[in-house]
Amino acid sequence: MVKVYTMELAGRTLRVEIGKVGKQANGCAFMQYGETTVLSTATASEKPRDGIDFFPCSVEYEEKLYAVGKIPGGFNKREGKASENAILTSRVIDRPMRPLFPKDYRNDVTLNNMVMSVDPACRPELVAMLGTSIATCISDIPFDGPCAMTQVGMIDGELIINPSQEQWDKGDLKMTVASTAQKVIMIEAGANEVPEATVLEAIYKAHDVNQTIIAFINQIVAEVGKKKHEYVSCAVPQEMFDEMKKIVTPEEMEEAVFTDEKQVREENIRQVTAKFEEAFADKEDWLAILPDAVYQYQKKTVRKMILKDHKRPDGRAIDQIRPLSAEVDIIPRVHGSAMFTRGQTQICNVCTLAPLSEVQKVDGLDPNVTSKRYMHHYNFPSYSVGETKVSRGPGRREIGHGALAERALLPVLPSPEEFPYAIRTVSETFESNGSTSMASTCASCMSLMAAGVPIKKMVAGISCGLVTGDTDDDYIVLTDIQGLEDFFGDMDFKVTGTTEGITAIQMDIKIHGLTRPIVEEAIRRTREARLFIMDTCMKPAIAEPRKEVGQYAPKIVQIQINPEKIGDVVGQRGKTINEIIARTGVKIDITDDGAVSVCGTEADAMQNAIKMIEMIASDFEEGKKYTGTVVSIKEFGAFIEFAPGKEGMVHISKIAKERINHVEDVLTLGDVVTVVCLGKDKMGRISFSIKDCK
C-alpha cells in the first residue's frame, strides 16, 4: 500500500512516499522537496558480523549527474568513485545517525541515498539527510530516533532556513544542524567570521525547525513504521567486568591510563591485557571479547576520574591547553612551510602557489561550483600513531579533516583579483594524539603567511570534549582534548575562527544530544583557546603575511588588454600564445574580460612575454618606433616580426639611405632591427622604414 505524506517546510513542500519503491529494503523513503528527488533506503543484515567490536554502519550519498542534466566527464562516461562533496555529505549524515543506534548492535547497516533530480531551490544534501532519518525510523532496524536536520544560511545579516543553492553559495553562513526531540546532536558549519552570538542564534533557530520535522516523522512512523527486530547483544557481560576488577583493581587501572605519554599508556594497557589473557585462558568466549572489555574498563576509569575528580589523564586543568610550539620555513625550496605542535599532535604544512589555470575542476551537482581555487589536503600516515600500515590513499576521515581546515581558511583568503594564484596547502601529520584537523588549521594559516599569501586575518582552531553523568546538569567540558579523551568522551566540538568570529564548526557526539548550556560553554571555551593559541604561539612565529612570495614561488604579473584582441593573442588554434610560451617558458592565463596573467620564475622571461602580448594587442602607431627580427627576405623587401603572429614589411627602398639592389646586401635572417611606422600606404597596408629611424 502506497502512502504519501506532505508538510510545508521553509515555504516549499516536502513530500514523502512510502511503499511505492524499494520494498525489499528494511526501510525506504522516496523523497521530494520542491523538484529535488532522493531515494533513501536503510538495510541491515540478519545476523551480527563476527569478530568485531564496533557498529558496522555505512552511509552512502550517490550523486547521479543525470539529476542536473549532465553526462559525466572523462573517458568512462559513468559515475565513478564518490566525489569529495558526496563523501563529506555522507559524513554529515553519519554523525547524527550513528549515536542513535544501540551501542551493542553489531549487524551491518547501510544507509543509502541516491540523488535523482536537483531543484536549485532545494539542496539535495538536506533531502538525503531527512530521507535517511525517515527510512531508518520506519524500518525494523533498532534506532532511537527520529532525528531531523535543517540548514541555515545568512545573507546581509538575515538568517535563512533551508536556503537555495545560490543563497547557500553566496551567504556568509553555511550551517547544518541535526536534533533529536530534546537536544542538538550535530553541527556542521562554514562561516565568514560570524560572531559567536549569531552562530548560537542560528543553531537554535534550526533546532526549533527540527522539532516540527520530528513531529512530521513521528506521524509517518505511527502509521507505517515496522516493529523493531530483536538482535543479539554484543555487550560485555557484567560478570566479566566483575572478574576483571578482581584481577586489576580500579586503582591499578587508573594508574595505568593516567599518563601524558601515549606510548607509556599503551604499554601499560598491554601489560594489563596480558594479565587478563592469562586469567581467562580457559574461557574462550571471554577471550573473544576481551579487547572490547579492556576498552570499556579504560573508558569507565577515565570518565569517572574526569567527571567526579576533575582529573585528566595527563594531569592538566580542565581548561588547560597542552604545550604549544610553532615555526615557519622548516622545509627548503617549497613556497611556504610551517609546523605546529600541540602536545603530542604535530602537523607540518606546505603551501604551493600556481597560476589560476591550475585550479581544480569540479564535476558535481552544484552548477555554481565548477572549480576550486584553494585546496587543502590532509594526510594521516600510520607512523604518526606508532602503527604499521600500508598507505592506500586518503580515506573518508582524511578527506573530511582536509575539508574542515580548508573551510576554516576560505573566508580570509584574498580574492583572485588581489592575488591571482591557485593555492594548495598539504598537512602532513607527523604525530597524532588528538585533534589533528585543528592543528592543520593553525599550521596552514602560518604556511600561507610564510608563502606570502596576503590573508586578511589569522585563523586558529581548537577542539573541546565532554564527559557526562546521569543528569543533564552533570557534565564536564574539556578544552583541547587528546586522543584518550576523544575515544572515551562524549563529544568532539571543533571550532575555528579569527579574533572577530567563527569560520568553521564541526561537532559530533556519541550521546543523544547536547543541552544549550553545553553548546554555549563549548563555543565560549573554543574562542578563549584559539585567541590564546594565536597570541602565545602563532604570532611569535609569524605575525603577518610576507610582503612578497618566496624565491622559488612563481611570480605573476597581470596586465589588461582589449578583449577584442584576445583572439590575436591566442592565435589560430592557440598557435600564437603557444609560441610565446615556448620562447619564454612562462605560463599565460587570459580571461574573457581581457585580464592577462603571466606566470614565471624568471623576471626577464616574464617581461619579454608581456612585451610580446602588449605588442600583439596594440595597433601600430604612425611615427612610433618598434624593434623586431628579420624573419623573411623577398626581392621587394624584408618582413619583420615584432611578436609571434605580428609582422610588418619594410620595402627595399626604405632599408638604407643609399640605393641598394638586393635586400641581402644589408639584412640577413635573424637580424634585430629598429623601424619606424610610416602609417598606411596607398593600398591600406601598414608600412615601416629602417632608414627614417636613424
Tell me whether residue 174 is exposed, middle or buried, using C-beta atoms within 10 angstroms of its C-beta: 0 to 12, 13 to 18, 19 or more. buried
If you average pLDDT over residues 85-106, what whole number do you get? 95
Query: Which residues are registered as beta bridge partners of 376?
Result: 425
DSSP β-bridge partners for residue 346:
341, 431
Residue 257 has phi, psi (to 5 degrees) of: -95, -20
pLDDT surpasses 90 at 492: yes
Q: Quick one: average pLDDT of 438-447?
A: 98
Phi-psi region of 239 (alpha: psi -120 to 50; beta: other; left: phi over 0): alpha
End-to-end Cα spacing for the chain: 97
pLDDT tens-place string over residues 127-164: 999 999 999 999 999 999 899 999 999 999 999 999 99
From CA 342, how far away is CA 325, in angstroms rounded?
Answer: 7
Q: Is the dihedral of CA 574, 580, 583, 587 positive or negative?
A: negative
**Which band of pLDDT confidence, cut at 50, 70 and 90, is reported for residue 694?**
low
d(CA 177, CA 209): 10
CA distances from 547 to 415, 499, 602 (A): 16, 22, 19
What single-letter DSSP state applies at residue 594?
S
Model confidence at 685, pLDDT cuts 50, 70, 90, reads confident
Q: Is residue 331 classed as helix, strand or coil in its secondary structure?
A: coil
The pLDDT of residue 483:
87
Res. 577 pLDDT band, cuts 50 70 90? very high
pLDDT band at 584 (very low <50, low <70, confident <90, very high): very high
Taking the C-alpha atoms of residue 496 and residue 463, their distance in angstroms, rounded to an integer, is: 9
Is-contact 427 444, C-beta < 8 A?
Answer: yes
The structure's pTM equals 0.89
**Cα gap 441→340, rounded to integer Å:** 9
Planar angle of CA 461, 464, 469, nearest 5 degrees: 175
Give how far Cα 120 sits from Cα of 9, 35, 67, 164, Å: 16, 9, 11, 6
pLDDT at 609: 94
Is pLDDT above 90 for 53?
Answer: no
335 versus 281: the higher-pLDDT residue is 335
Tell me the per-residue pLDDT of 639-684, one tens digit each, with 9 for 90 and over. 999 999 899 999 988 888 888 889 888 899 999 999 999 988 777 7
DSSP string, 388-401: -----S--HHHHHH
Residue 468 corresponds to which cell in the numbers above?
A: 557526562
In the chain, the percentage of residues whose pLDDT exceeds 70 is 100
Q: Is 140 exposed, middle or buried (0-12, 13-18, 19+ CB in 10 A)?
A: middle
Task: Output b/e per residue, 237-267; b: 16+ Cβ within 10 A.
Answer: eeebeebbeeebeeeebbebbbbbebeebee
CA-to-CA distance for 275 and 294, rounded, in angstroms?
A: 11
In the predicted structure, residue 536 carries a pLDDT above the cut 80: yes
Instruction: Give dist(CA 344, CA 480) in Å, integer.
Output: 12
Provide, rounded to the nearest whole percent, the portion of the chain with pLDDT above 90. 71
**pLDDT over 90 (residue 259):** no
Q: Pick the range with the lowest mean pLDDT from 178-187, 276-285, 447-456.
A: 276-285
Bridge partner list, 647: 641
Residue 258: all three cell numbers together: 593516567
Q: How far apart are CA 376 and CA 685, in angstroms?
A: 54
* In the predicted structure, residue 523 carries a pLDDT above the cut 80: yes
Beta partners for 13?
A: 8
Please name the residue ranges forming H helices in 73-117. Answer: 84-97
Residue 481 predicted with pLDDT over 90:
yes
Tell me which of 623 and 100 has the higher pLDDT: 100
Give long-range contacts, CB 8 A cutoff, 24+ apart: 120-123: 120/164, 120/165, 120/166, 120/367, 121/12, 121/34, 121/164, 121/165, 122/12, 122/33, 122/34, 122/35, 122/36, 122/162, 122/164, 123/36, 123/151, 123/162, 123/163, 123/164, 123/165, 123/168
Total length of the chain: 694
